[in-house]
Amino acid sequence: MPETEPTYVKKLRSIPKQTFLFGPSPIQFLPRLSKEVSPAGDVKIWAKRDDCNSGLAYGGNKVRKLEFLVADAISKGCDTLVSVGGVQSNHTRAVTAVATASGLKAVTVQEKWVPIDPPLYDKTGNILLSRLMGGDVRLNNEPFHIGHKTATKQAMDDVAQKGGKPYYVPAGASDHELGGLGFTNFVVELAEQENQLGVFFDTLVVCSVTGSSHAGLIVGAVAEGKGRKVIGIDASAKPAETKEQVTRIARATAALLDPELKIPDEAVVLDERFHEGIYGIPGPTTSEAMKLAARTDALITDPVYEGKSMAGMVQLIKEGSIAAGSNVLYVHLGGQPALNAYSSYFEE
């Protein structure tokens, strides 16, 4: 690598990680969605497809983060990844996938984060994939919050008592020393792709719940110093908690990569208008945004995360908060396997 590389990039490249991705995730122009949302053609919408980033159980944003955490687990001699999520967690599916691909075991605590029980909700979608991969799936009824969970500590103790060496992966692979690195690396990757495409994406739109995808993007954008704006769309329905966690993860990640790198308050933007009042349940705004993306450029989004961030991006463009002349990058985090469990919401 050239000697002129910034401190944060050198540090980022020096931190061990596994290779779970195909390479840089593809960037796709969305011409029909752009025309529908911006009829004058003055805002162009692109998507960086982290839903297509890996061959491990449908990939997604968590796989990018887990490259760093799994390398750390292996370096510490751990043999079991232990994590937590909802019944239809994309994250726990990804944890099980990277564990399987690395010759490790996975124990995932699947909680009742979403207060619904449609047909086959706990038997199809993400949880089916985790079981198919041989994951140790444990259901309980604890409700949603983004913090650390008692049941995960109990699962860790259980692994240790049986002679294993567990490695703790927080919800979303987020509130962890290495949690923000994957999406800081996303921005480094993006800058290289922009040079090839001859396009600069002035605005990134990303869903935000446990916060490390959003936080990593902020660190990358602040560090590169190009004036790129990162807009998080809250899907937690607990935006104060999410914003606090995003800010904390971003600042911890920045300090890890370069002690001189500071994250100002104004860099943490979280729009809380689109969560529809509850985590994990699509309301009419979410459903309409999902249909719009699907029926223009066949871009499939999920009802928990990406449908809500899609609704946010569409509204930001229509109201002029994303200005004419912008090249907007929709950061597609994945999550489509959960759609199978939400079929009753899309029967027409």
Query: 152 in helix, strand or coil?
Result: helix
Q: Are residues 224 and 341 in the same domain?
A: yes
- The answer to whether residue 227 is domain-embedded is yes
Is 102 a known active-site residue? Answer: no
Q: Are residues 284 and 191 in the same domain?
A: yes
Q: Are residues 153 and 251 in the same domain?
A: no
Q: Are residues 168 and 224 in the same domain?
A: no
pLDDT at 1 over 50: no
Which of 173, 201, 229 is a domain's end point?
A: 173
pLDDT at 47 over 50: yes
Q: Are residues 48 and 103 in the same domain?
A: no
Region of residue 60 (phi > 0: left; psi between -120 and 50: alpha; otherwise: beta): left
Q: Are residues 153 and 30 in the same domain?
A: no
Q: Are residues 21 and 126 in the same domain?
A: no
- Which of the 8 DSSP states describes residue 39? T
pLDDT band for position 317 (cuts 50, 70, 90): very high
- The answer to whether residue 109 is domain-embedded is yes
Q: Are residues 233 and 339 in the same domain?
A: yes
pLDDT at 97 over 50: yes
Q: Are residues 145 and 187 in the same domain?
A: no
Locate tokens 């979410």: which residue? 286
Q: What is the pLDDT of residues 260-304, one digit of tens each?
A: 999 999 999 999 999 999 999 999 999 999 999 999 999 999 999
Note whether 213 and 204 are within 8 A (CB). Answer: no
Report the greatest alpha carbon distance in the chain: 63
| Domain around 99 | 78-173
Which of 119, 142, 173 is a domain's end point?
A: 173
Q: How far apart are CA 69 and CA 106, in angstroms?
A: 13
Sheet holding 105-111, edge to edge: 136-139, 105-111, 80-86, 166-169
- The answer to whether residue 117 is domain-embedded is yes
Please report the pLDDT score of residue 3 as a whole number. 58
- The answer to whether residue 70 is domain-embedded is no
Q: Are residues 16 and 45 in the same domain?
A: yes
**Which has the closest alpha carbon to 227: 271, 270, 180, 191?**
191
Q: How many domains does the chain divide into?
A: 2
Q: Are residues 205 and 305 in the same domain?
A: yes
As a whole number of Å, the end-to-end CA separation of the chain is 53
Q: CATH number, domain at 123?
A: 3.40.50.1100
Annotated catalytic residue: which of 25, 54, 89, 130?
Answer: 89
pLDDT band for position 41 (cuts 50, 70, 90): confident
- Which of the 8 DSSP states describes residue 334? -
- The answer to whether residue 284 is domain-embedded is yes
Which of 173, 191, 206 is a domain's end point?
A: 173
Q: Are residues 228 and 303 in the same domain?
A: yes
Q: How far apart are CA 28 and CA 276, in angstroms?
A: 28
- The answer to whether residue 118 is domain-embedded is yes
- The answer to whether residue 62 is domain-embedded is no
- The answer to whether residue 71 is domain-embedded is no
Q: How far apart are CA 69 and CA 89, in angstroms?
A: 18
- Which of the 8 DSSP states describes residue 55? S
